[in-house]
Structure 1
Amino acid sequence: MSAQSEGNYWEALKNYYGAMRQEIGPYDRSYILYNIGRIHTMNEEHTKPLEYYFGH
């Protein structure tokens, strides 16, 4: 999360994608998917976030 707050979005995406490969609960998964979607939105990739907002 610190990479995202520091504006290092590509590093944050790498971290979130890595976290998705781990066994996580539904709350954590939804949090990660939401943040992946937010990063893509901030990068003006407006169609990509829909995949993540709707559960990838």
Structure 2
Amino acid sequence: MLAQSEGNYAEALQNYYEATRVEIDPYDRSYILYNIGLIHTSNREHTKALEYYFQALERNPFLPQAFNNMAVICHYVQLSPL
């Protein structure tokens, strides 16, 4: 998370992808996937972000911030071209 907070998204993504390979707890995995979605959102990779938010919600349907971010992306995409 340090790399993400410092804006080093490439390193953060690498760390999160590695974490998805080893983390088996669905609840913890949901937050890893959510964080990957956040990075893709920051990079304006909306389709990828939505995919990771969906995956996070499959593992943890009580993740309101994922629903919120998905709604923001859908609203943004509706108002402006990708």
Q: TM-score range by the shorter chain?
A: over 0.9
The ranges of structure 1 where at least 4 consecutive aligned residues each deviate by more than 3 angstroms after the TM superposition are: none
Residue number in structure 2 paired with 1:30 = 30
Q: Which amino acid aligns with 1:6?
A: E
Residue number in structure 2 paired with 1:48 = 48
Which has the greater radius of gyration?
Answer: 2
Deviations 1:23-45 (A, max 9, x none): 42111100000000000000011
CA distance in 1: counterparts of 2:23 and 2:32, whole angstroms: 13
Higher relative contact order (CA 8 A, sep 6+): 1
How many residue pairs get aligned? The number is: 56
Q: CA RMSD in A?
A: 1.2
Q: Percent identity?
A: 77
Normalised TM-score (structure 1): 0.92
Structure 1: tracts of 5 or more residues without a match: none
CA distance in 1: counterparts of 2:52 and 2:33, whole angstroms: 5
